[in-house]
Structure 1
């Protein structure tokens, strides 16, 4: 499903910002409860949430699954160095990383590294196979370095809404 481009002309007021802070913590909280917390009617909260979704400010409503509960025991942070930074090379890498389910997050970055990836894998054998496909056998990739997470200390997905 393609991401909706946010409407940058949408003006967030204090009520919208308060609603965003609440639904980022728990998007299943009843709208009447949100309404009480932000001093609006439930109908007004419903309209605002619908407008935030339509504007692309609320990009998705998802469930965050505990990786351990589904035996995804390896969390790897991977630095990827591309062979070059030409548009075709970067775009090809972005497309590959975007379509790979194990790549949970992908950042195109500056500072001598092309990409930082957060990858979840069931075990080291599956991670090794993934690294062969994504990096070792990929002519776009110059090199990569893996850091294996020992503990997922904080994996908050919420954006700080001022």
Structure 2
């Protein structure tokens, strides 16, 4: 895997802003020709720097939902029990993100769900029903002040 140079970083910055930007437009912005830009994009995809192209949805237009951050701790932090938890959580469509964290809790989950009643049902029937759950503490998002999908390429 090649190391990223400044041109690669510039291409990634452009694609993060708009993944539909075509190689010709990127080449114009960078003062290059289309072919080397296209080849770099293909290499960045092949090497896994670009994992996927997605549409970022305006969730307010789609329908009512709430975002909940749940901090989960396990009763025992044995490796295989943590792995089992991670595998199970990946099956839950409500869990948008899952992080293994250090400190007081073992995991941080970002959950998007219909409403508080929906969260209660989710927490009771899915999270609390998993083996080895020690504690779940949740914070409910009241207002989204910033949500940026662009990774800061230094």
Within the candidate set 89, 102, 125, 2:94 is matched to 102
Is the 1:135–1:143 contact (alpha carbons within 8 Å) kept by the matching residues of 2? no
Matched, 1:116 2:108: yes
Task: Give the direction of change, closer, same or farther, for the CA distance of 1:92–1:72 in structure 2 (3 Å limit).
Answer: farther
1:3: which partner in 2? none
Within the candidate set 3, 22, 32, 1:11 is matched to 3
* Greater Cα shift, 12-21 or 133-142: 133-142
1:144: which partner in 2? 136
Structure 2: distance between partners of 1:10 and 1:113: 36
1:154: which partner in 2? 146
1:51: which partner in 2? 43
Aligned to 1:62, the other structure's residue is in SS state coil
Aligned residues: 154
Within the candidate set 49, 57, 61, 2:53 is matched to 61
Structure 2: distance between partners of 1:99 and 1:128: 18
Task: Give the direction of change, closer, same or farther, for the CA distance of 1:111–1:137 in structure 2 (3 Å limit).
Answer: same
Compute the displacement of 1:57 (Å). Answer: 0.6
Matched, 1:74 2:66: yes
1:4: which partner in 2? none
Within the candidate set 13, 18, 24, 1:32 is matched to 24
Is the 2:67–2:112 contact (alpha carbons within 8 Å) kept by the matching residues of 1? yes
TM-score by length of 1: 0.89
Compute the displacement of 1:30 (Å). Answer: 2.4
Is the 1:31–1:45 contact (alpha carbons within 8 Å) kept by the matching residues of 2? yes
